[in-house]
A and B are shown apart, each in its own frame.
Chain A
Amino acid sequence: MSDSHVEGDTRYLFKRDKTWWVKVAVPRTLRDELGYDLRRSLHTHDLEAARATRWEVIEEFRSEIEKVKALRGGETDEGKQSPGNRESRNGKSQAGPIAVDQHIVEIVSDSGEGAQKCGQLMGLVSGKMGNGVWTVEIIPAEIQPPARSQQGASGIRVRMGSKYMTNMGNEADMVVAFNEQVLYSRIQNGAYREGTVVLLENMWAEDPEPAVREQYAEALADFKQRGLVVHELPIQQECLKIVSDPRKGKNMFVLGMLCHIYDRDTTMAKEEIAKIFRKKSDTVIKINHDLLYAGYAFARDNIDYQFSITTAPEDRLDSVVVINGNQAAGLGVMAAGIEMVAMYPITPATSASHYLAEDFHLTGGFVHQAEDEIAAIGFAIGSSYAGKTACTITSGPGIALKTEMIGLAVMAEIPLVIIDVQRGGPATGLPTKIEQGDLLAALFGAPGDAPKVVLAASTISECFHFVVMARKLAESFRTPVLILTDANLATGVQAIERPDVTDEWFAPPIDQSPWDRNVPPYDWDEKTGLSERPIPGMRGGEYILTGLAHNRNSKIAYDTRSNQEGMDMRSRKLAALAATLKAPEVHGDPEGDLLIVGWGSTIGAIEEAVDLARAAGKNVSSVHLRFLSPLEPGLKEIFSRFRKIKTIELNYSDAPDAPLSGIENRRYAQLAYALRAHTLMDIDCWSKVPGHPLSPATIGRVIDETLEQMEGAE
């Protein structure tokens, strides 16, 4: 069922979609020259073949690393190479752009100034040029926060690299800010480091309001103190040469600037701009093009920085789509052949429905915006009962309201796909921000025993493919399937391999052939709990579905034996599914000191951190779980090969040294909680609720500290 899980020796190997690749980590000191790792496709889908051919490539990579090491001689002192010094060392570009293997740029502004559009275009053009790209939106919680407010930052982060990007990275290298105040919330989030270059709109220095001029001057001094490298630029003034109200259009000027700074193809940018404004007049398109070119020329004449991000040709995907996780889920719904999505608006899930509302008609589907979340899932359940397996998309508070209905779908064995784009909780919580807080609610949030399938997508690609898988699982196992994604996946934009879609993924046309009257509606197979279901329209299959305890004939039955049997059969289905799963793949060596366990969107950051730590000689690996109910098999065996197991999660747990917390009453992170119960092993956790994704650097620190503590304990 989950063919992404492979057993056996996969050292130096990883799989992208179906193809096997070799990957050798580059020592930290050589990363400026070689990047984080060296990788190459083995052009095979077959693991055995990949195992056989990998060594040649590994040898080649190793000798390349040795060569660079030799060239560098004694110059490999850590401090000199720290990324914090990168710009000050080689930022001034006299002789063409400086090649870098990756760069993170942010654009922040008040809301409504188009920073996100600017960043999206930057990401798109970079993706087209063959870079790996990950973008995350920076969203204020209010629709229109006051202008120039510290918490009102609206914008975007774009991480561009030579390699495939899987997460938002660490501190930004460069930021373009439309005013100085909005930088503060980003500074609080640790988005920048000493040496981060700030390209700052300087109009505020001349603002008619003395208070504004004062704020600006204060902030400027403060930024310098913090080690940010600030360049004040007359962006507004330059834009005024072209448009009368630069609030609309400044973003395109900045895009032009960035196109020069990062040596991007302006023709591509021009085309994308024309696409965005295709419904507007030619004049509008022309003004935006003018702004783009003006920004480009301005940067060429006034900004010393110029970088190029190398692309590795073999890293280029043949055919890509650039999408965020919610669009991926929407496309997954269409690819699964689902025809009905019933929803109620809730951030950060809604944009999936926005997307479907635009394109669902292409596959004959319909979005029902219900009166509330209960009605939404009820509607979906009705459609599923009638043979058209439906989907409902929501976030945590919506899941809470849908709980009783999910229980009904479990009890009455109604196939259904539920997507939970998690945000921070409880209650209204952090509506626009990320948290992995719904796992236990997903697993257990219903009265009685309500076994269901729970999956967690960890990548944008999985947001797509898991929906296709979920519909099949829902129908084969006659059960609701809940897919957990999160705000990070929902708004992260990435170029992924274009799925090779086929109509075999579609739900088959509903069966209306007669039903054998001798077969009861719940003809449970003793071994698997599985049964076929009659669908309205099938002559002879007439039955009354009920949420009450029932027997095989769907007759209400409160007797002890029937209730026990029903419960057994519903639980057995999960056991039957678990029996088809394979153990998850360990990232890194299959044994060692520390094993990090993660789930969901943290995969990119965790694996990047693990690779770095391993390159530095640390004995750490990671494993990432996709099936959370039933859990993938073999976990205990994998865990037993490490000295310490620690989950890293974006949800709440008591710090081990928190006041009044101790071994007896520490509240663990959600996956750790589930795994401790499942394996009876002393699984530790590190979890936080920062409202933003974890960076590889943060995870790297957790790894280092954990290993230090382990040493200390010896």
Chain B
Amino acid sequence: MFGLKGDWSLEVKERYFTLEDYCGAEPRWCTGCGDHGILAAVHRVCRDAQLKPEKTVAVSGIGCSSRLPHYMNTYGFHGLHGRALPVACGVKSRRPDLDVWVATGDGDCFSIGAAHWIHAMRYNMDLTVLVFDNGIYGLTKKQTSPTTPLDVPTNTHPSGALLPPMNPLTVTLGITNISFIAQIVDWNAQLRHEVIKKAHAHKGTSFVRIIQRCPVYVESIGKTLQDEPARLKLLTHEKGVQVDDTVKRQFPNHAEHDPSDIHAAREFAENPDELPLGILYLNPDAPRYDLMSAAGLEMTAEERLAGLNEALDHFAI
């Protein structure tokens, strides 16, 4: 009568998780790679939320960034190039009890996986989606990605990218039923942590585009932004993200932005001269497909069997 239950509900000692409980294998990213900082933020958010490692799943595609699950001590799914989102949606579809994270790259998400990006945003299942956007194909050694800036030379376009880069924020803000859009740079720990924490807490698909440094292949992208913080604009709001003065000093350019205002969000997103940082849009009430796809989960075997017989009755003569 007083035995332990399978779901640990009678455990006498509360489980408390430290950062180490979320650390998997030793990261193999290059020194100076922005991915390290993002991983640290994910570990911290997991720790702060005291997520059970066995109930947490990190899903990724293929790319440098998609190695992230290996560096977690949770469940993980390192799948195919471009296909992290459908897999993550599938994981969530019948397992509302799992906390699902997605790590994807600019090639993974905006190029080969573009169809899934558009549709996963619209499904608005409860996922935390982190796009590691280094503006290049890292793993395959410096090919042009959809977000490679004009004139940056790559191995597929040695005299520089030919077309202007795609703007993932305006694209995402154009998708019906999005519920959370944010942008950060990998090199500010506090902003990084605050935004990812909010993204994780949000119920629905949280899309975080992370401008990430790849010093090995496109050092200039990160460097320009670090050297010229005026090209960034920090958006803060009580409904969005709040940071302290040290952060504000780093980003001298800031504005108050109510993230429920999608029109204002679109304006910030469209400005080519000042990349917005912070939460651009947040709608806690957008319909969630994961709540729909879980329909019927509670049915017992007897009920299912009765239902099956009813289905057969439809064809009986």
Contact = CB atoms under 8 A, between A and B. Distances in A.
A228 interface: no
Contacts of A537: 54-55, 95, 97-98
Nearest to B116: A375
Contacts of A322: 315, 317
Contact of B311 (A334, A381, A383, A387): A334
A381 B97 CA distance: 18
A382 B116 CA distance: 14
A539 B78 CA distance: 20
A473 interface: no
Contact of A546 (B8, B78, B85, B316): B78
Given A388-B95, A542-B75, A379 B317 contact: no
Interface stretch (A2-10, A335-343, A430-438, A703-711): A335-343
B304 A503 contact: yes
Contacts of A342: 90
Interface in A531-571: 534, 536-548, 555-556
B307 interface: yes
A538 B304 contact: no
B77 A379 contact: no
B72 A378 contact: no
Nearest to B315: A321
Interface in A501-535: 501-503, 506, 509, 512-513, 534
Contacts, number: 206
Interface string B292-317: 11111111011111011111101111
Interface of A is mostly: mixed
A363 B308 contact: yes
A321 B307 contact: no
Given A364-B299, A366-B295, A544 B78 contact: yes
A363 B76 contact: no
A526 B242 CA distance: 57
A383 B119 CA distance: 17
Contacts of A503: 301-302, 304-305
B317 A128 contact: yes
Q: Which of A128, A335, A378, A404 has the most CB of B within 10 A?
A: A378
A331 B312 contact: yes
Nearest to B81: A404
B80 interface: yes
B104 to A, nearest CB: 13
A372 interface: yes
A361 B294 CA distance: 11
A536 B93 CA distance: 13
Nearest to A366: B293
A368 B293 contact: yes
Interface in B1-50: 6-8, 24-25
A386 B314 contact: no
A374 interface: yes
Interface residues of B, number: 65
B94 interface: yes
Contacts of B288: none
Contact of B296 (A319, A361, A404, A545): A361
A265 to B, nearest CB: 12
Given A542-B53, A543-B75, A372 B115 contact: yes
Nearest to A512: B6
A385 B93 contact: no
Contacts of B311: 331, 334, 359, 362-363
B191 interface: no
Contacts of B54: 536-542
B197 interface: no
Contacts of B83: 374-375, 378, 405
A383 B94 CA distance: 7
A498 interface: yes
A387 to B, nearest CB: 7
Contacts of A371: 115-116, 118-119
Contact of B87 (A385, A388, A502, A509): A385
Given A340-B94, A538-B54, A364 B307 contact: yes
A368 to B, nearest CB: 6
A334 B308 contact: yes
A161 interface: no
A555 to B, nearest CB: 8
Contact of B95 (A405, A536, A543): A536
Given A319-B316, A339-B296, A364-B297, A382 B89 contact: yes
B89 A379 contact: yes
Contacts of B89: 379, 382
Given A501-B312, A544-B24, A366 B95 contact: no
Contacts of B70: 544, 546, 556
Interface-central residue, A327, A366, A380, by most chain B CB under 10 Å: A366
Interface in B107-143: 115-116, 118-119
A390 interface: yes
A547 B69 CA distance: 13
A386 B90 contact: yes
5 contacts: A363-B304, A363-B307, A501-B308, A542-B75, A543-B75
Interface of A: 124, 127-128, 319-323, 327, 331, 334-335, 337, 339-340, 342, 359, 361-366, 368, 370-372, 374-376, 378-388, 390, 404-405, 408, 495, 498-499, 501-503, 506, 509, 512-513, 534, 536-548, 555-556
Given A359-B314, A374-B83, A542-B73, 16 more contacts: A321-B312, A364-B295, A364-B307, A368-B293, A371-B115, A378-B83, A381-B87, A382-B88, A495-B317, A501-B305, A501-B309, A512-B6, A538-B54, A540-B54, A541-B54, A547-B78
Which 7 A-B residue pairs are closest in the complex by CB-CB distance?
A382-B90, A364-B296, A378-B86, A362-B307, A544-B76, A364-B299, A379-B90
